[in-house]
Chains A and B, each alone.
Chain A
Amino acid sequence: MTVEAKYKTKPLDCWKRAKELVLEHYMNIAKAKEQAKLLVSGCAASCLALPAGLGDFVFMGGEPYGAMVAHDPSFSIQAMEAAEARGYARDMCGYMRNYLGSMFLDKYYFTGGPWPKADFCFGRSFCDAGHASWYRAVHEYEGIPYFCYDEPQGFNWSGSAEQKMEYLAGQLFDGIEWMERVTGRKYDDEKLIEALKNFFRTEALWGEVCLLNAAIPAPLDLKSMLSLMPISMLRRHEKCAVDFMLTLRDEVKDRIANGIAAVATERCRLATNAPPPWSFLKMFRYFEGYGVCFVGTLVYTINSGEVKFLDDGTVVPAVPPEERGWPLMKDRESAVRTLVRWLFEHPFGFHVEWDRYLVSIARHWKVDGMALFLNRGCPLMNTGLQDSKRALQEAGIPATIYEGNFADCRDVDEALIVDRMETFLEGLGVSRLAVS
């Protein structure tokens, strides 16, 4: 028995390549030492291109690792309990507990083998809840060097922008010198410039891909996008990420031109704000039975991606610095300053207007509603959530909030989430599709 399809659909041609790139990255982490590559651990939502000047390196981003582990409750619970046994409270970041727990267990999720000890940690004080302390814990436990720079998420700070950019740039210059000292390697500015070109290009391309989902029917669904996003999140400083994003973008455009849908029964479009409950991704497939296609999440459009939110309420793809007419990167000074400017002007950078972004992207994606995720354990993502819901509703966009935890499956009440969402869909006049 099947539900009658409204659109034609087919898997992504580049899906296999996407999976290869992600798995290869996680295997590279395990094999970094034998491949004579530096292994650096830190915040993925950071200037992870910076170690490129040291030569071959692999960046182990804590949040993506924590998310991948969260998708497997049997391992995740072990890791969480290992972290909790050492005194890390249950309400703390789940990504962090999955990561630290794996480290304490000396078990790397992707191989089952020993935990890959990084050569150093390179962190970012991102959320003021614990990112900086997270890698301090790694530094203390593993006895490895640790550098962290200060670049918080923007909350519309008072005072001038220029000195804040200078402060960030200064720390990044210091970070480069620090990396030279702890590794004994000479830093190659050309390699940094190359990595940054890839970084900017990948972010712009991924943002463009996300925005292409405004098409009806949506060529991609959120569950698939959550498997594609890690290529940008983990490897956006590498050429393979640029190449993949170009392929993906072209394929998505082709799907749009040929009316190929991600969800053949699409009749209701929803989007969200935050990372999903990683242990409950099947909820997106479940709601396809209602003809619901989740078309995107704001956070992964602008965290590992970049778009431009214009004053007229529209959202457009971003372009890399050279296409913006910025001075060319020719040395370390210009490279770092270009990076700082990119970060500063980024929608997820110093100046953030979350409610405006949500309304803009909801309209861009032509959603029928927004399902906002109240993620227990991430105070950063929940800032102003209630105001966001009101802003959407005032803009005429139906919105609901469902609660759970992005990385701790024990805090995800699947039945409650389904009930909440079904109630919301009922309010939108959407019921389960008839089966023929």
Chain B
Amino acid sequence: MGAIEEFEKVIAGRHQYAQEWKQKNGGKVVGWLCTYVPEEIIYAAGMLPVRILGSHETQDVTDAYISTIYCPFCRDVLAQGLKGRYSYLDGIVHARSCVHIRNTFVNWKNHVPIDFTYLMFMPAHVQSPRAKPFLTKEYRDFKEALEVWNGKPISHDALNKAIEVYNTNRRLMKQVYELRKNVNPPITGAEAMKMVIAGQLMDKEEHNRLLRLLIEELPSRRSEREAGPRLMLIGSEMDDIEFVRLVEGLGATFVIDEHCSGTRYFWDEVSPEGDPLAAIAARYIDRIPCPPKDWPERRRLPFILKLAKEYNVQGVLLYQQKFCDPHEFDIPALQQMFKANNIPTLFLEFDVTVPWGQFRTRVEAFLETIALELV
């Protein structure tokens, strides 16, 4: 089985994977809700951090807890907890990002049986010089809480090792992404998404092994498909692999992305320094910001534009989770920025399920527009 098939297997069997890991390693499995959670610290504790994702099914179990004005992702995630699909989790951790997913955490804590919960105060004022020293202290508290819960200390060496494993993971994924700059990328957007999402669901060292395998496979990969227009996918949480596959099936390729199941998750590394907690804190403060942390000056938009140019993007798909206020704030600026740079955009609003019929028409029209522009 090739690497991509392995990724698919992990994604489809995520719950089984985590339970088997538990049985094999005897460690705890900790679910996390937002990419600002410092996974390295959880990993250093000998635990398996796994991202909690939705299932893209309609549901009605969350209406008694979260009203429908909250984003579909946060409701879909809570639904998984309420339905007992994550009953094997030993703990759940959230680092402050947006009020929507925080609502999921609060409801999970109050209504889904779980042993350990932790709500981390991740600063929003990441541009303040106070943010790093503050977050370092918050991480000390978090480390201590994990140690007390787990009954084992987390050593300096374990933290440094975790940093190394995670940095390797990020580097390897960036290596794969580098190949997507090719005129004919050896990997589709859907496959790249599988790679990243699988990494959020499995042991990082195992993921690294598969990434190395993928990097070996890719140069000799011959694709029969035409790459078509080069697209960029921008949004918040995005794990709708099927949607990406369907768009690419219309004759385009997603060559790059900026969302929290893509580059925003892994692009920035930890720069090791004396205190590993301080090093980890610096990484999460300095990483590409999520919109609720991108002020007073914007850092996210310049990064996006840089990526778009480096990857020779010809069209941008702005993926908007319905009711996601933080990302909605960036939409006008994103549209203006791409217009000023002659890159067409298509705005699509998403729910847990996708109206592919209508979307197909719009995407096809968008791709035709791009084709005309190229001519």
Contact = CB atoms under 8 A, between A and B. Distances in A.
A164 B121 contact: yes
B331 A160 contact: no
Given A174-B128, A384-B103, A159 B67 contact: no
26 contacts: A86-B332, A89-B331, A127-B99, A128-B99, A129-B292, A132-B292, A133-B295, A133-B330, A136-B298, A149-B125, A152-B96, A152-B121, A152-B124, A155-B102, A157-B121, A158-B120, A159-B145, A160-B141, A163-B141, A167-B134, A171-B128, A171-B130, A374-B69, A379-B69, A383-B103, A386-B63
A130 B329 contact: yes
Contacts of B294: 133
Interface string B331-361: 1110100000000000000000000000000
A91 B106 contact: no
A132 B124 contact: yes
A416 to B, nearest CB: 15
B115 to A, nearest CB: 14
Tell which of A129, A133, A155 has the most Cβ of chain B within 10 Å: A133
Given A134-B329, A157-B120, 16 more contacts: A130-B325, A133-B291, A133-B295, A136-B298, A139-B296, A146-B295, A147-B296, A149-B128, A155-B119, A159-B138, A160-B137, A160-B141, A167-B123, A171-B125, A377-B69, A387-B110
A87 B330 CA distance: 9
A377 B322 CA distance: 12
Nearest to A167: B134
Interface in A99-145: 125, 127-130, 132-134, 136-137, 139-140
Given A376-B69, A382-B67, A158 B328 contact: no
Contact of B329 (A137, A155, A157, A164): A137
A47 interface: no
B326 A133 contact: yes
A69 to B, nearest CB: 19
B103 A132 contact: no
Contacts of A163: 134, 137-138, 141
Interface of A: 86-89, 91-93, 125, 127-130, 132-134, 136-137, 139-140, 146-150, 152, 155-160, 163-164, 166-167, 170-171, 174, 374, 376-377, 379-380, 382-387
Interface in B273-296: 291-292, 294-296
A297 to B, nearest CB: 19
A37 B142 CA distance: 46
A129 B99 contact: yes
A128 B69 contact: no
Contacts of B63: 386
Interface in B45-75: 63-67, 69-70
B118 A158 contact: yes
Given A159-B138, A163-B134, A150 B125 contact: yes
B188 to A, nearest CB: 30
A152 to B, nearest CB: 7
Contacts of B292: 125, 128-130, 132-133
A177 to B, nearest CB: 12
Given A158-B142, A164-B121, A174-B128, A379 B325 contact: yes
Interface in B203-238: none
A129 B123 contact: no
Given A91-B69, A152-B96, A383 B124 contact: no
Contact of A150 (B118, B123, B331): B123
B295 A382 contact: no
B100 interface: yes
B243 interface: no
Contacts of A140: 333
B130 A129 contact: no
Nearest to A169: B130
A81 to B, nearest CB: 14
A374 B67 contact: yes
B307 interface: no
A152 B122 CA distance: 11
A166 B137 CA distance: 11
B98 interface: yes
A150 B124 contact: yes
A139 B333 CA distance: 13
A129 B325 contact: yes
Contacts of A129: 98-100, 292, 325-326
A403 B335 CA distance: 32
A159 B123 contact: no
A306 B187 CA distance: 58
B119 A174 contact: no
A74 to B, nearest CB: 25
Nearest to A132: B295
Contacts of A130: 292, 325-326, 329
A386 B137 contact: no
A380 B99 contact: yes
A380 B103 CA distance: 9
B289 to A, nearest CB: 11
Given A163-B137, A379-B100, A174 B67 contact: no
A133 B125 CA distance: 12
A63 B134 CA distance: 29
B35 interface: no
A158 B119 contact: yes
A276 B36 CA distance: 34
Contacts of B102: 128, 155, 383
A132 B98 CA distance: 12
B106 A384 contact: yes
A129 B141 CA distance: 26
Given A137-B329, A158-B119, A379 B99 contact: yes
Contact of A88 (B64, B124, B137, B328): B328
B328 A156 contact: no
Tell which of B63, B66, B130, B291 has the most Cβ of chain A within 10 Å: B130
Given A148-B295, A167-B130, A383-B106, A133 B69 contact: no
A135 B331 CA distance: 16
Nearest to A175: B128
Nearest to A160: B141
Interface string B127-155: 01111001001100110010000000000
Tell which of A379, A385, A387 has the most Cβ of chain B within 10 Å: A379
B121 A159 contact: yes
A49 to B, nearest CB: 20
B134 A166 contact: yes
